[in-house]
Amino acid sequence: MGIMDFGFDLRTDLVKQHDFMNMFILPLIGLMSVFSTLTGNPTACLVVIRTLITYMACDAIYIALRPGSVPSAKLVLFHHFVSVCGLSHGLRFAPAIREVAAYGLIEIHTSFMTYRRLTGLRSPSFEAVFHIVTVLVRLVFIPGLALVSIRNLYGLGVLFKPSGMPGLSAVLGLSIFNIQFLLKRKAMFNYSGKKQQ
């Protein structure tokens, strides 16, 4: 048993490599987003937004180079593109930073899903927590945050103006992604990919 023996082979499994790397950043983003959402601290919100933009850009490059590392490379790349559009809204409109930073809370669910795929853990208690988090994030939080975002765009007077298009595109795009995610949830939750040759 070596120092890097986790019970899975990181050398040949693209999915495990990607999931392993994500376990270092996604929980951190989720926790930072909890703090920034609860406190509304502008500096914390900006750190979350900038961290998410950097993560999305780096992850998009990684996925473009290794599409077998995710269940649906096109869908995930689409998600990352519209996410960056939406995150840029928080950088351009200061009154929106708290709502935009709150999108980082989605990474809590992504962390659970990633950990589950990475470890293969399927105990009844972990599955119960995972499904509760899935329902709360995917069926309650994301639709609610989409409505708050539309209200924010309307309140800023940019809902159908060019300056509001990145934010509106992100809300619509992430809603479409969420629907696709829920339709493909079994494949997304249990994706194992193919071993690298």
pLDDT in tens, 69-107: 988 899 889 889 999 999 999 999 999 999 999 999 999
DSSP states of 36-83: HHHH--HHHHHHHHHHHHHHHHHHHHHHHH-GGGSS-HHHHHHHHHHH
Cα distance between residue 134 and residue 113, in whole Å: 9
Q: What's the structural domain count of the chain?
A: 1
Domain-located, residue 197: no
Domain-located, residue 112: yes
Domain-located, residue 1: no
pLDDT digits (tens, 9 = 90+) for 100-141: 999 999 999 999 989 988 888 888 998 899 889 988 998 999
CA torsion, ordered 54, 14, 129, 31, to nearest 10 deg: -20
pLDDT digits (tens, 9 = 90+) for 141-188: 999 999 999 999 999 999 999 999 999 999 998 898 888 878 876 655
Domain-located, residue 157: yes
Domain-located, residue 192: no
Domain-located, residue 117: yes
Cα distance between residue 111 and residue 21, in whole Å: 11
Domain-located, residue 71: yes
Cα distance between residue 107 and residue 176, in whole Å: 17
Cα distance between residue 197 and residue 180, in whole Å: 30
Domain-located, residue 156: yes
Q: Global pTM?
A: 0.84
Domain span holding position 53: 14-185
Residue 195: what are its φ and ψ, rounded to 5°?
-70, 145
